[in-house]
Structure 1
Amino acid sequence: MNPSPRDRLIEAGTRLLDSAGPEALQARKIAAETGASTMAVYTHFGGMNGLLEAIISAAFERFGAALASAPSTDDPMADFFFMGYAYRRFALASPQRYRLMFGLAAPQKLQAPSTPVAAATFAQLVAVVERIVATGRVRADDTVVLAERLWSMIHGVVLLELVGAVAQDSHALTQILAPMTIDMFVGMGERRDSAEASLRRAIEAIQQSGTEAPRQPH
């Protein structure tokens, strides 16, 4: 089934975003990619803001699919580590989309939207945090607030990698993010050996999924 004119514009915008960055997202350039006139942007999206929001929503859908690749096992902490790995992997593989999704390079007249699809990706993180809390392994803080803390931690490390402050290699994952996450869980009542065992299970699951797995931090 051939994509609709609307979908072709979204796909063309995403290609331009990946190749040239958010600054290249202009109605004329995107329309030209599909062989259409600029009027097509207004016909299908009501203007450039509408198209940008659609491109961002499409990026969040793919981001959500990446997070959903994490398994749901009887060890939700291991599942969380897998999800964190998938989060970082998406961001480093699609840095321009990530920048636009979180308003890091959006045009001034467009702010990062709080769309249903964006909220759904955060809900995936909340769900796995709820499962961790339900095990009694960590303190029963508000799960949304706890998810925000964990998200902020992952997001911060990823941003340091994207701007080049930290090298995009295994160091950020194995020597910064993973140990910091374990420290946070331990600070909330988890035993360190139990958290480290969950991390090992996550690494095994990542290896079995066919993606490049990190090493166990020392």
Structure 2
Amino acid sequence: MVRPKVHDEALRRRLLERAGAMLSAGGPAALSLRTLAHDCGTSTTAVYSLFGGKPALLNAVLEEALLRFTAHLAVVPGDDPVADLVRLGAAYRLGALADPHLFDAMFTGELQPVGAQAALGRLRELVERAVEDKALRPDLDPATAAVTLWATVHGWVSLQRRGLLPDDPAPRLEEALHTVLDGWRAPVTI
């Protein structure tokens, strides 16, 4: 006779969601397996059975956060590399707002470098493409531009999540990104 599965995927998802919220609220030190299990209506045995312990749970939360976030960043390049950068900024914002506790977990404490790498890698690729396509100045440093764009979008998201932006912030973010990018436009030759 096959033994029924006690700890299913639904429980695993609930544990990941709650663990992400706990990480977001207080960092890795705030993640208590006992509290997590209690909050999800299960036992610590379930947490150990599904994840093997706290380090593996932290890795699973980070993997889930990165998976969800990078899915938002999968902007398919079009004909206009500058428009692609604006679309990527909008996608970053949507990814942050879709899973705010997982987004926060990616940028908390020792997990921060992984979140930063996910954000900056894609930005830098698209900036490099824009420079190669002569849409942005040839002397523009892609690393500096990527950090500047990231700071703009990440700061925007932080302000929006705290209710410190005017109504309808999405088009205003696009306008802000166009303003930054316009300063880096390649000169038009006649």
Q: Which bracket does the TM-score occupy, shorter chain normalised?
A: 0.7 to 0.9
How big is the alpha-carbon RMSD for the aligned residues of Structure 1 and Structure 2? Answer: 3.3
Distance 2:182 2:123 in 1: 19
Distance 1:99 1:129 in 2: 25
Q: Give matches, 1:34-183, under 5 Å.
A: 35=42, 37-42=43-48, 45=51, 47-68=53-74, 70-103=75-108, 111-115=110-114, 119-140=117-138, 141-167=140-166, 169-170=167-168, 172-175=169-172, 177-183=173-179
Within the candidate set 181, 184, 188, 1:188 is matched to 184
TM-score normalized by the length of structure 2: 0.74
Distance 1:173 1:190 in 2: 26
Q: Which runs of 5+ in 2 are unaligned?
A: none
Q: 1:96 Cα shift?
A: 1.7
- Alignment check: 8 A CA contact 2:72 2:95 kept: yes
Flag the 1:126–1:43 CA change in 2: closer, same or farther, 3 A: same
Distance 1:46 1:18 in 2: 17
Distance 1:187 1:132 in 2: 13
SS at match of 1:51: helix
Distance 1:53 1:6 in 2: 19
% same residue: 32
Distance 2:13 2:107 in 1: 19
Q: Which amino acid aligns with 1:119?
A: Q
Q: 1:74 Cα shift?
A: 1.9
Larger Rg over CA atoms: 2
Distance 2:151 2:101 in 1: 19
- Alignment check: 8 A CA contact 1:16 1:25 kept: no
Distance 1:157 1:61 in 2: 22
- 1:14 maps to 2:19: no
- Alignment check: 8 A CA contact 1:100 1:112 kept: yes
Aligned length in residues:
178
Q: Which amino acid aligns with 1:56?
A: L
Q: Give matches, 1:197-212, under 5 Å.
A: none
TM-score normalized by the length of structure 1: 0.66
Q: 1:19 Cα shift?
A: 7.1
- Alignment check: 8 A CA contact 1:9 1:30 kept: no
Q: Which runs of 5+ in 1 are unaligned?
A: 104-109, 192-218
Distance 1:152 1:58 in 2: 23
Distance 2:123 2:149 in 1: 9
Flag the 1:20–1:47 CA change in 2: closer, same or farther, 3 A: closer
SS at match of 2:110: coil
Q: 1:30 Cα shift?
A: 3.6
Flag the 1:160–1:28 CA change in 2: closer, same or farther, 3 A: same
Distance 1:15 1:124 in 2: 25
Q: 1:148 Cα shift?
A: 1.0
Flag the 1:45–1:118 CA change in 2: closer, same or farther, 3 A: farther
SS at match of 1:112: helix
Q: 1:21 Cα shift?
A: 7.4
